[in-house]
Amino acid sequence: MNNNIQLNDLKDSLVSSYIKLDLIFLNKLLKDASKSEFPYKNNLFAQNIFCPINKNKHISTTIYGWMKGYRTIPFSKLIKIVELSNYSWEDICKNLIFIKAGIRKGEVSPKFPINIDYKLGSIVGHILGDGSIDKRFHSVFYSNSNKELLIEFSEYMEGIFGIKPRIWVQDAPNYGKTKWLKRITNFNEIPIGHNVGLFYPKICADILYSILEKFAEGNNKKITSKIKELNLSFKKGLIRAFFDDEGSVNSSNYSVRFHQDRKDILEDLINILKELNIKSNPIRSYNKKNKLRYYFNITSFREYSQFYESIGCTSSKKKSEFILLINKVMKNK
């Protein structure tokens, strides 16, 4: 896969989305594509891009709405317009205001090209960890009580999608039904000891799925074949984020551990670690609340010190325990 994803690389999977372009550029584009000064009066052009024509006014009110800026363009129409024009998809990206999944709100302003790198890997790792993509609405969600991890996820999402999250504080730590206390505007307002949820619109999931296949939908999470083919920078970001969410360090028993309910995810993580020249112990299981859960450890000094040096973690608490573990072994040696 190309390490730089352009908008036109996603057009087949985003065909039902809606685009807003800079109005001056959009008017130039439509005039060029229609080869006329008044594209909304050009019935042949309207027919070519499958836009309805008002029989009384003999114009396309849809195209007129685009040119006046009170209608967004369906991606399916934009594809045809670009084909009929002398403009390129690079021109479209330069003049992109936002893209959304439907006619309602949920706009994002992605920065193209989207790089397949450490930051995108981190987003995926967090979604596979303490995040999710809603099965029904396909909204992207990330939940944690660690402000460092919340800020990391938020900054990487904003860097790629150009959008800040809706931030909701959970009423109290509980593992049953989520009760939301209040919505806040920034991370400094988080009450001590409370979990926080970050919410993003459906178009973010659509773009992620388009690049990486459906790797998370409700409780069904997996490392897809596309993810397995990606570069090591992306995979380092994925491993680090997943470890921050689902891992632990214990200097008392000299181990680093990955936890997960899905055995297949752990198997894939072990293989990714091998690509990064880090060996782990076999997967083991235990029963908790009548449910089988899985984990694997990294217990060799060479392996977990390599993990710390080349991958590391964002959580300062885990980082401190890592340093304590490594220094403890070094002192004994």
Report the chain (333 residues): mean pLDDT per 10 consecutive residues.
89 94 98 97 96 92 97 96 97 97 91 96 98 95 96 98 96 71 94 93 97 95 97 98 97 94 96 97 91 94 96 97 93 74
Determine the CATH number of domain 114-220: 3.10.28.10
The pLDDT of residue 17 is 96
The pLDDT of residue 272 is 98
The string of DSSP letters for 13-74 reads TSTT-EEEE-HHHHHHHHHHHHTSS-GGG-HHHHHHTT---BTTTTB-HHHHHHHHTSSPEE
Q: Which long-range contacts (CB under 8 A, 24 or more apart) does 100-104 make?
A: 100/17, 100/18, 100/72, 100/201, 100/203, 101/16, 101/17, 101/18, 101/138, 101/201, 101/202, 101/203, 101/206, 102/16, 102/17, 102/18, 102/202, 103/18, 103/72
Domain pair 114-220 / 239-332, same fold: yes
Query: What is the pTM (predicted TM-score) of this model?
Result: 0.94
The pLDDT of residue 174 is 58
- Per-domain residue ranges for the chain? 18-100, 114-220, 239-332
Q: Domain 239-332 sits in which CATH superfamily? A: Homing endonucleases (3.10.28.10)
Ramachandran region, residue 256 (left: φ > 0; alpha: ψ -120 to 50; beta: rest): beta
